[in-house]
Amino acid sequence: MKILIVEDEPKTAAFIKRGFVEEGFSADLAANGPDGLHLALTGVYDLIVLDVMLPMQDGWSVLTQIKERLPRQPVILLSALDAISHRVKGLDLGADDYLVKPFAFSELLARVRNALRRAPAQQPDVLRLADLDMDLARHKASRAGKPLDLAPQEYRLLEYLLRHPGEVLTRTRLAEQIWDINFDGDSNVVDVAVRRLRRKVDDPSDRKLIHTLRGVGYVIEERL
């Protein structure tokens, strides 16, 4: 499970991230609204923890734009604003929950787990492009009805590609999202993984879906 934490107070952000990591989650941090929005729209997160009072762009605006692009994305708002009107505003904008600061991490964790329990009903069950299908509930993939035998990282890579169809994904972005590492220009880990995935997804078919943009990255799309 991967969580995005958008919080500008360094101690609070570190406290929340440490708690999630200790509970077995992976977590990314953003310290302002624009950075948080960028990560939310370009990454794949099971849940976003979003502070309301952020520099450069407040959490209300970030939440609104997330929900416009990713209406099923679970988001929990954090705020020192404890008026009922603020809570109602957050929920009306699409937040799954609203937690008032200060809070105990155990309460945040309980609310996160509750939101994640509801998330499967909100998330799409199948990702599809042409004759390529990913059944997320059953953790299976197939091409033209034939099952694909994918290793765990190959599955994650294909899922990430299918969540961003038609979008050019750089090697740096793939390395950060799939392997949670900083990309080294001399490393071929991404290229090797894509090559293996392509052998399983594209080689048996006449229609190629995974395409290379030389010197840039990869894109998954159906081309005529």
Q: What is the pTM of this model?
A: 0.59
Show the low-confidence residues of the chain (pLDDT under 50). none
Q: How far apart are CA 63 and CA 52, in angstroms?
A: 9
Q: How far apart are CA 71 and CA 91, in angstroms?
A: 13
What's the pLDDT at 103? 94
Q: How far apart are CA 20 and CA 3, in angstroms?
A: 8
> What structural domains does the chain harbor?
2-122 (3.40.50.2300), 126-220 (1.10.10.10)
